[in-house]
Structure 1
């Protein structure tokens, strides 16, 4: 998308909305719009997909919510352009997950509910990147949509602290709820006088498996704990992948810490401090309490996790 010509600004008080969203955290803002009396003519969500190899295709959480609310829903972006031609005057985007091209943005001005304090963590994975970076706060912003990646002006924002034990799932739930309130308040007061973003820009690239690997000899416990709290952290055990869903930091002074990667009871050593395993999942098995898992595993003295 090009920024050569400015895109039309959102209407001060929209009368008809097209909603773009897919995951669970985009449900609360949609429900809030309906509860507040806003007219949502169309919901655009990702196509149905299988959640397992043998399962049937299932709708996204937003599509399921839209059907429950009796709203028209589609996975075809051309329907959004048609809705704009038919009188919709604002698009609301919440974690939609697809690029919206300039012709649609010219036809339908949009605002985006973005889960960070802009311009920090523009992009696809702002909650996860804030956690991995050790930020002590994140937030949610109602911003205008421009041609660039999350470059638009901010109409309103609210900060949310990140506790030492906060998980990405917990933060997304809180940001969704706070964002729903912020969206309704902002639309109610009118989309006027946004402020341009200012400060140091950082980018929240998508999370990969490499980001979540627990490299015990390279990183301290505090950093590895952040990867666990993002969700999906993993290592290997006896040649199989072991996911670590919950863990606790063990300070060097709190116990005798084994060498990095070595498992001693439920504690594994790291580059600094230890990590106590709380909930794990071996490939092909269900999630399990780590104490119970290790009781059945019977680790050998000096057994290591990871490569």
Structure 2
């Protein structure tokens, strides 16, 4: 199936993206995230509890059943897409927080995805059979996220001048590779998307918009800084559609179940780009509370 081609292209895209982001990070970024765990906790609750409940409500309201309903739940149960790190970077978010959340979500997905899939299959397909996430896929996601970032951070530490010169070219290359990956997704899933896009387009757009909004406003309501809230919005609002496609096709053996994720992979770019543009203006105009506290601590220390 064409989606398998997408699954081959995406890891290459993500390696380039994560390497570029690693060139912008230092260990101090992660130390600051650890010192302020509230943003991580709130984002994880939104990702693991609020979004599945929201998606279930949308599935019921839109009357989806069978494999399409399970496919939607599989999509929302997948960890945040690693492209969220790039959008967060463009929007002025706390990219270190994105990296931490992506890594944590990837580990938790080993437990949460099988639970969501099992309950969804039982609810929408009258089947009590449980399905587990293949460990190799989880390891692949973690490696794709962490290894290139670590290499990029090492390059920045060892060759800071080179890292600074390469930051912009790598960012451009990252965007080009992501566009190529989306193009592959459209081409490989064209017939399936054409047959189902009208039915699934609206629900996936709503899921994208609501996820991005929840990811930003809920942390802000709890006093999280702007840059961290931007990172949370992108992490929660951009789901790993390709991982959902790969699990549906290879682990669950259902191409139809991959259609919602494929549809989402096409439509989510618009809401994500608009959100990144709007949030970038807010992040630039509003000081980040966590950064302010860190600077005050440094001055006092």
TM beyond 0.5:
no
Indicate the structure whose relative CO is greater, using CA pairs within 8 Å and at least 6 residues apart: 2
Query: Which has the higher Rg, Structure 1 or Structure 2?
Result: 1
More strand by share: 1
TM-score, normalisation: structure 2: 0.29
